[in-house]
Amino acid sequence: MKETYRFRHKHILGMEQLSVTDIYYILDTAISFKEISSRPIKKVPTLKGKTIINFFFEPSTRTRLSFEIAAKRMSADTFNIATSTSSAQKGETLIDTACNLEAMSPDIIIIRHGSSGAPGLLTRHVDAAIINAGDGTHEHPSQALLDIMTVREHKKNIEGLKVAIVGDIAHSRVAHSNIIGFTKLGAEVRVAGPATFMPPHLDSLGALVCGSVAEAVTDADVVMALRIQKERQDDPLIPSLREYAQFYGINHALLQKHARADALIMHPGPINRGVEMNPDVADGEGSVILEQVTNGVAVRMALLYLVMGQEGGRAEA
Protein backbone atom coordinates (compact mmCIF):
# COMPACT_ATOMS: atom_id res chain seq x y z
CA MET A 1 0.00 0.00 0.00
CA LYS A 2 1.37 3.34 -0.98
CA GLU A 3 1.09 5.92 1.73
CA THR A 4 -0.26 9.26 0.70
CA TYR A 5 2.33 11.95 1.15
CA ARG A 6 1.26 15.13 2.81
CA PHE A 7 3.44 18.20 3.40
CA ARG A 8 3.36 18.48 7.16
CA HIS A 9 5.49 21.47 8.01
CA LYS A 10 3.74 24.51 9.40
CA HIS A 11 7.02 26.41 9.58
CA ILE A 12 10.00 26.50 7.24
CA LEU A 13 12.99 26.96 9.52
CA GLY A 14 15.77 25.22 7.65
CA MET A 15 16.86 22.50 5.25
CA GLU A 16 17.75 20.39 8.27
CA GLN A 17 14.06 19.79 9.04
CA LEU A 18 13.08 18.83 5.46
CA SER A 19 13.15 15.27 4.16
CA VAL A 20 14.17 14.37 0.61
CA THR A 21 10.49 13.88 -0.21
CA ASP A 22 9.65 17.29 1.26
CA ILE A 23 12.32 18.97 -0.83
CA TYR A 24 11.15 17.39 -4.09
CA TYR A 25 7.54 18.15 -3.23
CA ILE A 26 8.40 21.83 -2.71
CA LEU A 27 10.36 21.90 -5.96
CA ASP A 28 7.55 20.23 -7.92
CA THR A 29 5.10 22.72 -6.46
CA ALA A 30 7.43 25.56 -7.40
CA ILE A 31 7.64 24.35 -11.00
CA SER A 32 3.86 24.42 -11.24
CA PHE A 33 3.86 28.00 -9.94
CA LYS A 34 6.70 29.24 -12.11
CA GLU A 35 4.46 29.59 -15.13
CA ILE A 36 2.24 32.13 -13.34
CA SER A 37 5.08 34.64 -13.44
CA SER A 38 5.16 34.51 -17.23
CA ARG A 39 1.46 35.19 -17.68
CA PRO A 40 0.24 38.61 -18.83
CA ILE A 41 -1.77 38.83 -15.59
CA LYS A 42 0.58 37.47 -12.98
CA LYS A 43 -1.91 36.75 -10.24
CA VAL A 44 -3.86 33.81 -8.89
CA PRO A 45 -6.35 33.99 -6.04
CA THR A 46 -4.78 31.16 -4.04
CA LEU A 47 -3.91 33.12 -0.89
CA LYS A 48 -6.63 35.72 -1.15
CA GLY A 49 -7.49 37.10 2.28
CA LYS A 50 -4.27 35.84 3.83
CA THR A 51 -2.09 38.31 5.67
CA ILE A 52 1.65 37.99 5.29
CA ILE A 53 4.20 40.06 7.19
CA ASN A 54 7.77 40.50 6.02
CA PHE A 55 9.61 41.00 9.28
CA PHE A 56 13.17 41.97 8.37
CA PHE A 57 15.77 42.83 10.96
CA GLU A 58 18.59 42.98 8.44
CA PRO A 59 18.77 44.97 5.24
CA SER A 60 17.67 42.92 2.28
CA THR A 61 16.58 43.89 -1.18
CA ARG A 62 16.16 40.78 -3.21
CA THR A 63 14.96 38.28 -0.65
CA ARG A 64 12.36 40.66 0.76
CA LEU A 65 11.19 41.71 -2.70
CA SER A 66 11.12 38.10 -3.86
CA PHE A 67 8.90 37.07 -0.95
CA GLU A 68 6.69 40.11 -1.47
CA ILE A 69 6.23 39.44 -5.17
CA ALA A 70 5.56 35.78 -4.44
CA ALA A 71 2.87 36.72 -1.90
CA LYS A 72 1.26 39.29 -4.17
CA ARG A 73 1.13 36.93 -7.13
CA MET A 74 -0.85 34.63 -4.84
CA SER A 75 -3.19 37.55 -3.92
CA ALA A 76 -2.11 37.71 -0.27
CA ASP A 77 -1.96 41.03 1.54
CA THR A 78 1.62 41.79 2.44
CA PHE A 79 3.16 44.18 4.90
CA ASN A 80 6.79 45.01 5.45
CA ILE A 81 8.50 45.77 8.71
CA ALA A 82 12.13 46.58 8.25
CA THR A 83 14.44 47.59 11.02
CA SER A 84 18.18 47.62 11.12
CA THR A 85 18.31 47.54 14.88
CA SER A 86 17.07 44.60 16.84
CA SER A 87 14.03 45.34 18.95
CA ALA A 88 16.02 44.40 22.04
CA GLN A 89 18.10 47.53 21.50
CA LYS A 90 14.92 49.58 21.42
CA GLY A 91 13.88 48.07 24.71
CA GLU A 92 11.40 45.61 23.26
CA THR A 93 12.20 41.95 22.92
CA LEU A 94 11.78 39.96 19.73
CA ILE A 95 9.06 37.94 21.45
CA ASP A 96 7.14 41.09 22.45
CA THR A 97 7.34 42.48 18.95
CA ALA A 98 6.20 39.18 17.50
CA CYS A 99 3.32 38.91 19.96
CA ASN A 100 2.20 42.37 18.88
CA LEU A 101 2.20 41.26 15.27
CA GLU A 102 0.39 38.11 16.30
CA ALA A 103 -2.35 40.21 17.86
CA MET A 104 -3.14 41.46 14.36
CA SER A 105 -3.69 37.89 13.15
CA PRO A 106 -1.18 37.42 10.37
CA ASP A 107 -1.22 34.03 8.65
CA ILE A 108 2.46 33.96 7.83
CA ILE A 109 5.44 35.81 9.24
CA ILE A 110 8.54 35.80 7.09
CA ILE A 111 11.50 36.66 9.24
CA ARG A 112 15.07 37.64 8.61
CA HIS A 113 17.14 38.15 11.71
CA GLY A 114 20.79 38.46 12.64
CA SER A 115 20.55 35.89 15.42
CA SER A 116 20.74 32.21 14.56
CA GLY A 117 17.65 30.43 15.86
CA ALA A 118 15.44 33.54 16.01
CA PRO A 119 12.75 32.07 13.68
CA GLY A 120 12.52 28.97 15.85
CA LEU A 121 12.10 31.15 18.92
CA LEU A 122 9.11 32.83 17.23
CA THR A 123 7.39 29.52 16.57
CA ARG A 124 7.17 28.97 20.31
CA HIS A 125 5.37 32.26 20.87
CA VAL A 126 3.07 32.89 17.91
CA ASP A 127 0.47 30.90 16.02
CA ALA A 128 1.32 32.22 12.56
CA ALA A 129 3.35 30.09 10.20
CA ILE A 130 7.00 31.17 10.30
CA ILE A 131 9.25 31.17 7.27
CA ASN A 132 12.95 31.72 7.82
CA ALA A 133 14.32 34.21 5.31
CA GLY A 134 17.80 33.96 6.80
CA ASP A 135 18.84 33.71 10.45
CA GLY A 136 22.33 34.69 11.52
CA THR A 137 24.85 32.23 10.19
CA HIS A 138 22.39 29.37 10.52
CA GLU A 139 20.04 28.76 7.57
CA HIS A 140 18.47 30.35 4.54
CA PRO A 141 16.24 27.56 3.28
CA SER A 142 14.39 29.37 0.49
CA GLN A 143 17.75 30.29 -1.07
CA ALA A 144 18.93 26.67 -0.98
CA LEU A 145 15.63 25.51 -2.46
CA LEU A 146 15.82 27.97 -5.33
CA ASP A 147 19.44 26.97 -5.95
CA ILE A 148 18.51 23.30 -6.05
CA MET A 149 15.54 24.09 -8.30
CA THR A 150 17.83 25.92 -10.73
CA VAL A 151 20.37 23.11 -10.82
CA ARG A 152 17.61 20.55 -11.26
CA GLU A 153 16.21 22.39 -14.28
CA HIS A 154 19.57 22.07 -15.99
CA LYS A 155 20.95 18.79 -14.73
CA LYS A 156 17.73 16.79 -14.20
CA ASN A 157 19.20 14.72 -11.36
CA ILE A 158 20.86 16.14 -8.28
CA GLU A 159 22.19 12.78 -7.17
CA GLY A 160 25.82 12.27 -8.07
CA LEU A 161 26.49 15.89 -9.00
CA LYS A 162 29.66 17.58 -7.81
CA VAL A 163 28.82 20.95 -6.30
CA ALA A 164 31.63 23.35 -5.36
CA ILE A 165 30.94 26.20 -2.95
CA VAL A 166 33.73 28.76 -2.63
CA GLY A 167 34.04 31.57 -0.13
CA ASP A 168 33.23 32.48 3.45
CA ILE A 169 31.51 29.28 4.48
CA ALA A 170 31.71 30.08 8.20
CA HIS A 171 29.60 33.20 7.96
CA SER A 172 27.25 32.06 5.22
CA ARG A 173 23.79 30.72 5.95
CA VAL A 174 23.42 30.20 2.19
CA ALA A 175 26.36 27.82 2.21
CA HIS A 176 25.04 26.10 5.33
CA SER A 177 21.60 25.45 3.83
CA ASN A 178 23.03 24.43 0.46
CA ILE A 179 25.47 21.97 2.02
CA ILE A 180 22.61 20.32 3.90
CA GLY A 181 20.19 20.43 0.95
CA PHE A 182 22.47 19.19 -1.82
CA THR A 183 23.98 16.53 0.44
CA LYS A 184 20.52 15.24 1.38
CA LEU A 185 19.71 14.82 -2.31
CA GLY A 186 22.88 12.82 -2.93
CA ALA A 187 25.20 15.42 -4.43
CA GLU A 188 28.85 15.68 -3.41
CA VAL A 189 29.40 19.11 -1.91
CA ARG A 190 32.96 20.44 -1.87
CA VAL A 191 33.86 23.67 -0.14
CA ALA A 192 36.95 25.82 -0.50
CA GLY A 193 38.31 29.06 0.83
CA PRO A 194 40.98 30.19 3.25
CA ALA A 195 40.92 28.34 6.59
CA THR A 196 39.71 31.55 8.26
CA PHE A 197 36.47 31.08 6.33
CA MET A 198 35.95 27.44 7.33
CA PRO A 199 33.87 26.64 10.39
CA PRO A 200 35.15 23.79 12.57
CA HIS A 201 34.02 20.26 11.79
CA LEU A 202 32.41 21.17 8.48
CA ASP A 203 32.59 17.51 7.55
CA SER A 204 29.91 16.86 10.16
CA LEU A 205 27.46 18.59 7.80
CA GLY A 206 28.53 16.30 4.99
CA ALA A 207 30.79 18.71 3.11
CA LEU A 208 34.17 17.82 1.67
CA VAL A 209 36.70 20.48 2.67
CA CYS A 210 39.18 21.09 -0.16
CA GLY A 211 42.66 22.53 0.14
CA SER A 212 42.30 24.77 -2.89
CA VAL A 213 39.70 26.23 -5.17
CA ALA A 214 41.18 24.23 -8.05
CA GLU A 215 40.62 21.02 -6.12
CA ALA A 216 37.05 21.99 -5.27
CA VAL A 217 36.04 22.83 -8.82
CA THR A 218 37.73 19.82 -10.43
CA ASP A 219 35.09 18.06 -12.52
CA ALA A 220 32.45 20.17 -10.81
CA ASP A 221 28.95 20.31 -12.27
CA VAL A 222 28.07 23.36 -10.23
CA VAL A 223 30.33 26.17 -9.02
CA MET A 224 28.89 28.58 -6.51
CA ALA A 225 30.75 31.62 -5.21
CA LEU A 226 29.68 33.42 -2.04
CA ARG A 227 29.67 37.11 -1.45
CA ILE A 228 32.73 38.24 0.49
CA GLN A 229 32.01 40.69 3.25
CA LYS A 230 34.48 43.42 3.93
CA GLU A 231 36.82 42.43 6.71
CA ARG A 232 35.20 42.26 10.10
CA GLN A 233 36.63 44.77 12.51
CA ASP A 234 37.12 42.42 15.41
CA ASP A 235 38.23 39.45 13.40
CA PRO A 236 40.94 39.59 10.77
CA LEU A 237 39.78 36.97 8.28
CA ILE A 238 41.58 37.94 5.06
CA PRO A 239 44.34 40.46 4.35
CA SER A 240 42.56 42.20 1.47
CA LEU A 241 39.92 41.72 -1.16
CA ARG A 242 42.68 42.06 -3.72
CA GLU A 243 44.56 39.06 -2.39
CA TYR A 244 41.32 37.14 -1.95
CA ALA A 245 40.41 37.65 -5.60
CA GLN A 246 43.81 36.40 -6.66
CA PHE A 247 43.70 33.13 -4.73
CA TYR A 248 40.01 32.38 -4.27
CA GLY A 249 38.18 34.32 -6.97
CA ILE A 250 36.37 32.33 -9.63
CA ASN A 251 37.70 33.19 -13.06
CA HIS A 252 37.37 31.81 -16.53
CA ALA A 253 40.83 30.27 -16.73
CA LEU A 254 40.32 28.34 -13.52
CA LEU A 255 37.02 26.92 -14.67
CA GLN A 256 38.30 26.06 -18.13
CA LYS A 257 41.21 24.18 -16.65
CA HIS A 258 39.41 22.24 -13.92
CA ALA A 259 35.60 22.30 -14.05
CA ARG A 260 33.30 20.46 -16.43
CA ALA A 261 32.65 22.34 -19.65
CA ASP A 262 28.94 22.45 -18.85
CA ALA A 263 29.37 23.58 -15.24
CA LEU A 264 26.67 25.88 -13.91
CA ILE A 265 27.87 29.12 -12.35
CA MET A 266 25.86 30.34 -9.39
CA HIS A 267 25.93 33.18 -6.90
CA PRO A 268 23.34 34.09 -4.24
CA GLY A 269 24.01 37.77 -4.90
CA PRO A 270 24.80 40.55 -4.65
CA ILE A 271 28.07 39.95 -6.52
CA ASN A 272 31.28 41.79 -5.78
CA ARG A 273 32.47 41.70 -9.34
CA GLY A 274 36.17 41.11 -9.58
CA VAL A 275 36.38 39.81 -6.02
CA GLU A 276 34.76 36.44 -5.57
CA MET A 277 33.77 36.19 -9.22
CA ASN A 278 35.09 37.75 -12.39
CA PRO A 279 32.61 39.47 -14.73
CA ASP A 280 33.55 37.07 -17.55
CA VAL A 281 32.27 34.22 -15.38
CA ALA A 282 29.23 35.98 -13.91
CA ASP A 283 28.04 36.97 -17.40
CA GLY A 284 29.48 33.90 -19.11
CA GLU A 285 27.91 30.88 -20.74
CA GLY A 286 27.26 28.71 -17.72
CA SER A 287 25.93 31.48 -15.52
CA VAL A 288 22.45 30.84 -14.14
CA ILE A 289 22.58 33.67 -11.63
CA LEU A 290 19.50 35.46 -12.96
CA GLU A 291 17.59 32.18 -13.28
CA GLN A 292 18.21 31.75 -9.57
CA VAL A 293 16.41 35.03 -8.98
CA THR A 294 13.50 34.03 -11.20
CA ASN A 295 13.18 30.67 -9.48
CA GLY A 296 13.31 32.42 -6.13
CA VAL A 297 9.83 33.79 -6.70
CA ALA A 298 8.46 30.38 -7.68
CA VAL A 299 10.02 28.63 -4.70
CA ARG A 300 8.68 31.24 -2.32
CA MET A 301 5.20 31.00 -3.84
CA ALA A 302 5.40 27.25 -3.22
CA LEU A 303 6.49 27.72 0.39
CA LEU A 304 3.72 30.21 1.13
CA TYR A 305 1.19 27.90 -0.44
CA LEU A 306 2.41 24.79 1.37
CA VAL A 307 2.59 26.25 4.86
CA MET A 308 -0.97 27.52 4.41
CA GLY A 309 -2.09 24.10 3.23
CA GLN A 310 -1.40 22.91 6.74
CA GLU A 311 -4.57 24.59 7.93
CA GLY A 312 -6.69 22.74 5.41
CA GLY A 313 -7.42 25.99 3.62
CA ARG A 314 -5.62 24.83 0.52
CA ALA A 315 -6.96 26.48 -2.63
CA GLU A 316 -6.36 25.57 -6.25
CA ALA A 317 -3.58 27.39 -8.00
Partner 1 sequence: MTTIIILQNGRLIDPVTGVDEQGDIWIENDLIIPAQKKLPENSQCFDLQGKWLVPGLIDMHVHLREPGEEYKETVESGTRAAAAGGFTGVACMPNTIPVNDCASVTQFILEAAEKKGSAKVYPVGAISHGSQGAGLAEYGEMKAAGVVAVTDDGLPVIDSQLMRRAMEYAGSHDLLVMSHSEEIALSRNGAMNEGVVSTRLGLRGIPAAAEAIMVYREIALAELTGQRTHIAHVSTAAATDLIAQAKARGVHITAETTPHYFTLTEEAIGDYNTNAKMNPPLRTEEDRQAIRKGLQDGTFDAIATDHAPHSVIEKELEFDQAANGIIGLETSLPLSLNLVREGVIDAMRMVELMSSAPARILKVEGGTLATGTVADVTVIDPDKEFVFTKESILSKGKNSPFIDWKLKGKAVLTIMNGRITHNELS
Site for partner 1 in 272-291 (CB under 8 A): none
Site for partner 1 in 230-249 (CB under 8 A): 234
Among 40, 200, 211, 270, binds partner 1 (CB under 8 A): 200
CB of 154 to partner 1, least distance (A): 29
Note if the bond before 268 is cis, omega within 30 degrees. Answer: no
CB of 210 to partner 1, least distance (A): 17
Q: How far apart are CA 216 and CA 209, in angstroms?
A: 8
Q: How far apart are CA 26 and CA 53, in angstroms?
A: 21
CB closer to partner 1 out of 147 and 221: 147
Confirm or reject binding of residue 229 to partner 1 (CB under 8 A).
Answer: no
DSSP 209-223: EPSSHHHHHTT-SEE
Q: Is the dihedral of CA 247, 254, 151, 62 positive or negative?
A: positive
CB closer to partner 1 out of 88 and 253: 88
Confirm or reject binding of residue 218 to partner 1 (CB under 8 A).
Answer: no
Selected range binding partner 1 among 26-34, 85-93, 104-112, 303-311, rule: CB under 8 A: 85-93
Confirm or reject binding of residue 173 to partner 1 (CB under 8 A).
Answer: yes
Query: Which stretch of DSSP H or E encloses residue 175?
Result: helix 173-184
CA distances from 232 to 196, 229, 235, 265 (A): 12, 8, 5, 27
- Specify the amino acid at residue 152: R
Q: Which residues lie closer than 8 Å to 191 by C-beta, 6 or more apart?
A: 164, 165, 166, 169, 175, 179, 198, 202, 207, 208, 209, 210, 216
Confirm or reject binding of residue 181 to partner 1 (CB under 8 A).
Answer: no
Confirm or reject binding of residue 137 to partner 1 (CB under 8 A).
Answer: yes
Selected range binding partner 1 among 34-42, 65-73, 98-106, 118-126, rule: CB under 8 A: 118-126
Confirm or reject binding of residue 85 to partner 1 (CB under 8 A).
Answer: no
Q: How far apart are CA 301 and CA 70, in angstroms?
A: 5
Residue pair 195/168 in contact (Cβ under 8 Å)? The answer is no
Confirm or reject binding of residue 136 to partner 1 (CB under 8 A).
Answer: yes
Selected range binding partner 1 among 45-53, 137-145, 155-163, 255-263, rule: CB under 8 A: 137-145
Confirm or reject binding of residue 138 to partner 1 (CB under 8 A).
Answer: yes
Selected range binding partner 1 among 99-107, 110-118, 245-253, 280-288, rule: CB under 8 A: 110-118
Confirm or reject binding of residue 201 to partner 1 (CB under 8 A).
Answer: yes
Q: How far apart are CA 148 and CA 257, in angstroms?
A: 25
Q: How, if at all, do strands 208-209 and 188-192 pair? A: parallel
Strand ranges of the sheet holding 222-225, from the earlier edge strand across to the other edge: 208-209, 188-192, 162-166, 222-225, 264-266
CB closer to partner 1 out of 106 and 199: 199
Residue whose C-alpha is closest to residue 165's, from 118, 103, 210: 210
Among 176, 184, 227, 258, binds partner 1 (CB under 8 A): 176
**Which residues contact partner 1 (rule: CB under 8 A)?**
16, 86, 88, 93-95, 113, 115-118, 120-121, 135-139, 173, 176, 199-202, 204-205, 234
